Amino acid sequence: MAKKKKKRKSKRPYKSTVYGAIVNKIRLMFLFSPNRKEALERAKIFEDYQLKSGVVKQRCIGYMCERCGCICAVGKEVNVHHIMPVGGLQNYPTLDAYIDAMLCEPDNLKVLCLECHALTHAELKGEKIYEESDSSN
């Protein structure tokens, strides 16, 4: 008779389906939060254009990256970055604390192009490694 394999308990209970669903809902709340919209509004770049009637209007041509200054087209070429890193749900004592961190004030948000966002996260990981090795001395 074949032995049944025991189900291993996950070392990361927050990765379960329920926690994953909660995190996804909170991230969705962030995507539509007024604070995120305010940060995006702050980074908008406008262009003047003239109607046939002679009236001058403005239209948004994109968002300016707050790191490199490039202008990204309106769409999915920009990310809204938390200046104070949020991390995962497992880093917070309560769900409310995680929600407060995700739905932070606009001053804690920065609009970055995709490249700068990736670089910023790489640097943050590097800083953590550096800080850990530095603090052990």
pLDDT in tens, 14-44: 556 777 888 889 989 999 999 999 999 999 9
Q: Is residue 64 part of a domain?
A: yes
Could you tell me the residue range of the domain that residue 88 belongs to?
Answer: 14-135
Q: Is residue 59 part of a domain?
A: yes
pTM metric for this prediction: 0.70
Number of domains comprising the chain: 1
Asked whether residue 77 is domain-assigned, the answer is: yes
Q: Is residue 62 part of a domain?
A: yes
Percent of the chain with pLDDT over 70: 80
37: left (phi over 0), alpha (psi -120 to 50) or beta: alpha
Average pLDDT, the chain: 81
Distances (CA, A) of 38 to 91, 107, 121: 27, 10, 22
At 72, which helix (H) or strand (E)? strand 71-72
Please report whether residue 5 resides in a domain: no
What's the pLDDT band for 132 if we cut at 50, 70, 90? very low
Within a domain: residue 7? no
Of the candidates 79, 94, 93, 98, which has an alpha carbon nearest to the alpha carbon of residue 31?
79
- The residues pairing with 58 across neighbouring beta strands, listed in sequence order, are 48
- The yes-or-no verdict on residue 58 having pLDDT over 60 is yes
